[in-house]
Structure formats: C-alpha cells, structure tokens
Amino acid sequence: MRATTIHAAGDIRVEEVPDPTITSPTDAIVKVTASCICGSDLWPYRGFNDITPGDTIGHECIGVVEEVGSEVSDFKAGDFVIVPFDHCDNTCTHCRVGAHAGCVNLGFTTSGQAEYALVTQANGSMVKTDGVPDRSLLPSLLALSDVMATGWHAAVSAGVTKGSTAVVVGDGAVGLCGVLAAAQLGAERVIAMSRHEPRQAIARQFGATHIVAERDKEGADRIKEITDGVGADAVLECVGTDQSIKTAFAVARPGATVGFVGVPHDVELPVRRMFQKNIGLAGGMAPVRKYLPELLDLTLSGAIDPGLVFDLTLPLDQSPEGYRAMDERRAIKVLLEP
Amino acid sequence: MRATTIHAAGDIRVEEVPDPTITSPTDAIVKVTASCICGSDLWPYRGFNDITPGDTIGHECIGVVEEVGSEVSDFKAGDFVIVPFDHCDNTCTHCRVGAHAGCVNLGFTTSGQAEYALVTQANGSMVKTDGVPDRSLLPSLLALSDVMATGWHAAVSAGVTKGSTAVVVGDGAVGLCGVLAAAQLGAERVIAMSRHEPRQAIARQFGATHIVAERDKEGADRIKEITDGVGADAVLECVGTDQSIKTAFAVARPGATVGFVGVPHDVELPVRRMFQKNIGLAGGMAPVRKYLPELLDLTLSGAIDPGLVFDLTLPLDQSPEGYRAMDERRAIKVLLEP
C-alpha cells in the first residue's frame, strides 16, 4: 500500500510498504477514508523524538472496515468506523473505570496516513456510524479519532463546569478543540491564548469569549485583568512545553485544576506553586474510546463541528507538503485523502 | 510570654518574648491550652529551611480566646477554639470555592508553641466548641488544627471513595491521619506503608487493612501483589520527598489521583508517567477551615480519635526535648502543655 513514512527529521516520504495483516483475533484492517497530521507528529519531524527510518507514521483515521479477526464480533467488512488513535479492549480493569489510555491491551494506530490501518483491539476501540456518512461530515468525524477527544479530555480533566472561567493555552488544533469543549461543557468565559488571526477566528467560532494574544507574563497579567484578579477556574494545557505548562499554572486560580493533554517535552512542573495554591494537574493521553459515543452524537446532531480545524486538504501523495505546511504554521491541521 | 524559638538548625529554646498584640481589627489572641510539634517544623530544625534566629515557632494550637479585635463578631474572651494553622477570612472568592489555603487574607499561626498565639483572621478561621471540652478530648481537638485536617485533605484530594483501595505513603502523624481519613471515607482497602511497629499499630487502629513495610521498588511490588496487579485507586502522599512522591506515583493505577500534603522538598514530578497513565496530582496545603466543622462533629461524636497520634506529652519548657524526640523518631508527635 502507499503510506507516509519518516526517515529522519524533516524527511517525510510517501512510498510502497507491505499492507497490514491480521495477526491477532482482536485485529481489524480499516481502509482509510481520511487521515490527518497531528501536532505530535511534528515532534519527530522536528527531531525531538527518536526515529526508526522507514517507519510509517500517522495515528488518526476514519474509514471502512476491510477485514476483521475471529474475535471481532461487533464489526464486519463495509462498516464505516472512527478509529481512536489509542486502541483499548474497553473491558479491562482500567477501561472499566474510564482510564482507557491505561488499558492493559493498549495499542496505537501506526499507519493512519496511508491506505490501510491496523486496529489491534477493534471491538473495544472502534465506533461505527449508521451507513456511510455524508462527505461533509468526514472532517468532523476524523477529528474524533484524536484531536477533538483530546481537547475534550483537557476540558473534562480541568473540571470545566457550567458558568466557570476556562483558559486554553495553545492555539493548535487540540487547543481549538479545547475551546469548543469548554464552551460545550458550559464555561461562561472561555479565554483562548492565541497570537494568530486565523486561529483566533476559529477559536471565536468555537465559543471563545476572549482572545489573549500576549504570552508568558504579559498573557498571565492580561488574564488576571479579565478575571478581576482571580484567575481561571479551569486551565486546558494543549501544548506540552515547559513554557506553556508554566503559563497554565500561572493563570490558574487557587484550587483550580490544569488539564494537560500536550505530550510533555522537557517539562518541569511548578510543584511549589501547585502545593501552596492547591492547583492540581490531571489528564494526559486521551481515553478516546471513553468519549467517542458522546462526541459522535454531538457531531451528528450538529452541536459541534470540530472539522473546522482542518484548513488544508491534500491527497495522501502530498503528505510531505502537509508536514511542511504545519511545521511552518501555514496550516492549522492538514487532512489527507488516500 | 514563654515561647519556643528557633535560633539555628538544632537550636530550639524556650524563652521570654513579647506577648502578641492586636494590631488589626480581624485579630484575636488565644491563650494556648495545648500545642504540638509538626513534622514540617523538623525541616528548619534539620537545616533545610531558612531560619531567622530568635523567631517563634509552632503553628498548631487550641485554646481560650483572650482578646478580640473590633471586627471579630463571632468570638469573645473565654470561648474555647480550635485554631487552623492557616488563617483565612472564609469569605473571599477563593474561600467561597473551598480553596481556603489560597485566601487573599492568608495568615499563619506563628507562636503556637507558646503561651499565646495571634490569629490574624479570627472570625473566618477559628471554630469554637460549646463550653470547655473534657480534657480527654484535647489531643483529638488539637489534631484538627493541622494534622488531621491535612490527612483528610490528602484523602479528599486523592478522591478516596467507598469501596476503593487507598495507599498511604508516610507513617508520620499526617500519614496516620490519612489512614484514618481514608477509612472514614469508606475505602475498602487501606494500605499503610510503614516500617515502624508502633506506627503500624496506630495505623491498624485507624483502619489500615494492610501494612507494607517494604519501601521503594519492593514496596511498590508488594502493593501490586495486594491489588492483583492493578495498583491503588487513590494515593495519599504524606511526606514530601522525591522518594515518597516517586513511590506514590509508582503505586497509583492508571486514572488514579495522588493527593499530596507533604510540603515538597527537592521534588521532581514524574510527568511522563503522569501523562501516559493519566495519574493526576491534587492537594497541597490543607484548607483546614473548610473541613473543621465536619471534623469537629466526627471528633465530638467519637467517630474519629486522631489524638492517638500523640505519643509524648511534655510541658512547654521541654520543647527542645520534644524536637529531639521527633527528630530521632523516638516520638510520632509531641503535645506541649504551656
């Protein structure tokens, strides 16, 4: 099949690789209808993560079931499915308490940006739609495989409640979905930290009531102003750098929780501030399957339209250009069509 | 008045210092009936915190109101009160959401181990009993000024629920109160990590169902065994060292929360594990006033008896011996009588 591969930092290719095959009875193969590039794919692209040259890349996709293993009872060839980037059995002791990201049979989509993807725990992970959805819905459904579920996890972990004030640190696709999640969960004030006009516009569409373009100390001061010196009840940390984490804790009021979903890189948590001000930290890798049924309902009913985060659609063959566009921040999030 | 003072690491004295005086209308002076030495007092005693030579020390006390400022409407001379170590107005925007430790008028008891203590936000902080309580109740009431409220905060922050499995890291007085809190909040299994026989005995009295004497990796392995490989639903971190924090996260199951109340010293949080396994961190300095009415009811009804953590009672004049006894772990917690 044709698949996006990574060979070194900055070296993304589309080439022929072997088709995935069923090797476990819990596996399924999905023919990819749409996939996309994630902010976290930029970490290896930028040389911050180890790379095995020639590995396929991409963990977000939706598509049509091609083949299932013998134990996959809930799906059959032809079903249209959303594939959580993190696969889980949805039955183990951790899944049962909603900690699907800690599933004892955890797996990941590893060839999302390709013609076919392998799902290692198909029964537990995938969620299907009634028939093949309208093409206009595909971007929003694709967003449920990771970015929207991750933004939702940030908001839930941060404890966003009706009438609360939420701050979203990060204006990437996850941050924007965090804005959407916070608004949907009833936050009265949703403050998006963003310096980029096109991203600010989407944040507003998603329900941001305030935009703060300043960063670091200036940004925190601005948020203090907006909140009459109180700070945020809930903070969504959607980047994962030391700078963004520090900003998140700086704008959190005493007793607040920072919900973090940006994969942390060289982060040192401000443990003294956390202790003195009782500011908690929760979240992590999103338990996508946990939220998927609810998010699917919200998407199909039109209550949320997370697909707006895709501002560039390319054929799979142009994956390398997609990476460049996201790396250079010319695109928020790139959708790929095999 | 006679007061315990600290002059340098290891140099504790009892000497004459000026009586505290009312300088703000929200102040009250309390004549101390009983006070005690806190594990956190050992940090400066051991040279880990800065010291201003001659400063009074001690933040836990109960006693009788001696004098009140003009705005202290709820108390009068003669009232018997429990004094939270952290003073708060109980009305500010942070207090109103239960984050009393972040009160905009935060203050602390600074001469608890003395004849008199100043309470800077008397109306908001203190809680009184009906009349002077029976002498046998004094240790348990004294425990409410910090150690029991702090153990309770660890359990509440860790999210202990009915039927859950809680692990308590630390067998100091706070850890033991954490055991009592976890049991009181309905945990089915309460695993106390303790190597010391007398502390193990109190842990059992307080409701520990399991004692793990091993530490670090061996301790974590033992807890994995007890929990059938799952780990703890809630972890109470009651020490504050890097080692204890790492143990706390090691024994937490995916999706769990570590409730931390040990003042952190040179701690580096395991942010990758927190992210990958969705293990949250919550807690910090205890909002004593928030819990005090409930804990007072539990104490007066006999449901809890946190005073058992005091295993040595000394006259105030022997404060220095009290510090030595706790430093050398000859005593769990020392009660001082002026």
CATH number at residue B9: 3.90.180.10
State whether B252 and B325 are in the same domain.
no
**How far, in Å, CA of A52 to CA of B173, rounded?**
51
**Average pLDDT score over residue span A27-49:** 96
CB contact under 8 A, B284 and A285: no
Q: Which of A261, A283, A305 corresponds to the end of one domain?
A: A283
Reported confidence tier of residue A56, pLDDT bands at 50, 70, 90: very high
**Average pLDDT score over residue span B227-242:** 97
CB contact under 8 A, B102 and A274: no
**Average pLDDT score over residue span B291-309:** 98
Reported confidence tier of residue B229, pLDDT bands at 50, 70, 90: very high
CB contact under 8 A, A280 and B93: no
**How far, in Å, CA of A244 to CA of A281, rounded?**
14
pLDDT, tens only, A222-277: 999 999 999 999 999 999 999 999 999 999 999 999 999 998 989 999 999 999 99
What is the three-class DSSP state of B317? Answer: helix
Length of chain B: 338
CB contact under 8 A, A284 and B274: yes
pLDDT attached to residue A294: 98
B75 close to B65: Cβ distance less than 8 angstroms: yes
CB contact under 8 A, B268 and A268: yes
- Rounded to two decimals, the ipTM of the complex is 0.96
pLDDT attached to residue A236: 98
Q: Which of B283, B305, B323 corresponds to the end of one domain?
A: B283
* Helices and strands (H, E) in chain A, number of each type: 11, 18
- CATH classification of the domain holding B183: 3.40.50.720
Query: To 10 degrees, the CA torsion angle through B338, B122, B143, B252?
Result: -140
Domain that holds residue B241: 148-283
State whether B230 and B156 are in the same domain.
yes
Q: Cβ contacts of residue B222 below 8 Å, gap of 6+?
A: B212, B214
pLDDT attached to residue A121: 98
Q: What is residue B77's DSSP assignment?
A: T
- Give me the helices (H) in chain B, please: 42-45, 122-125, 138-143, 147-157, 173-184, 197-206, 216-226, 242-251, 271-277, 288-300, 319-327
pLDDT, tens only, A71-108: 999 999 999 999 999 999 999 999 999 999 999 999 99
State whether A33 and A130 are in the same domain.
yes
pLDDT attached to residue B194: 97
Reported confidence tier of residue B159, pLDDT bands at 50, 70, 90: very high
Residue B226: phi and psi, rounded to 5, are -60, -35
State whether A102 and A165 are in the same domain.
no
State whether A100 and A127 are in the same domain.
yes
State whether A137 and A191 are in the same domain.
no
State whether B219 and B298 are in the same domain.
no
The rounded mean pLDDT for chain B is 97
Q: Residue A173 is which amino acid?
A: A
Q: How many domains does chain A have?
A: 2
State whether A154 and A274 are in the same domain.
yes
Reported confidence tier of residue B14, pLDDT bands at 50, 70, 90: very high
Give the Cβ contact number of residue A157 at 10 Å: 24
Instruction: For chain B, positions 232-291, list CB contacts with chain A under 8 A.
Output: 233, 253-257, 260, 263-264, 267-269, 271-272, 274-285, 287
- Residue B268 with chain A: CB contacts under 8 Å: 268
- Residue A267 with chain B: CB contacts under 8 Å: 271
Reported confidence tier of residue A64, pLDDT bands at 50, 70, 90: very high
Residue A307: phi and psi, rounded to 5, are -60, -15
pLDDT, tens only, A77-87: 999 999 999 99
In the structure encoding, which two tokens stand for residue A34, read together? Answer: 């749409």
Q: Which of A283, A303, A323 corresponds to the end of one domain?
A: A283
Q: Residue A45 is which amino acid?
A: Y
State whether A105 and A136 are in the same domain.
yes
State whether B278 and B315 are in the same domain.
no
CB contact under 8 A, A275 and B264: yes
What percentage of chain A has pLDDT greater than the value 70? 100
B33 close to B62: Cβ distance less than 8 angstroms: yes
Q: How many CA atoms lie within 13 A of A83 on its CB side?
A: 36
Reported confidence tier of residue A200, pLDDT bands at 50, 70, 90: very high
- Residue A274 with chain B: CB contacts under 8 Å: 281, 284
Q: What is residue B53's DSSP assignment?
A: T
pLDDT attached to residue B221: 97
Query: To 10 degrees, the CA torsion angle through B229, B230, B235, B239?
Result: 20
Q: Which of A269, A274, A283 sits opposite B284 (nearest CB)?
A: A274
Reported confidence tier of residue A284, pLDDT bands at 50, 70, 90: very high
Q: Cβ contacts of residue A52 below 8 Å, gap of 6+?
A: none
State whether B141 and B6 are in the same domain.
yes
State whether B44 and B88 are in the same domain.
yes
Taken in order B267, B272, B276, B278, the sign of the CA dihedral is: positive
pLDDT attached to residue A273: 96
CB contact under 8 A, A277 and B93: no
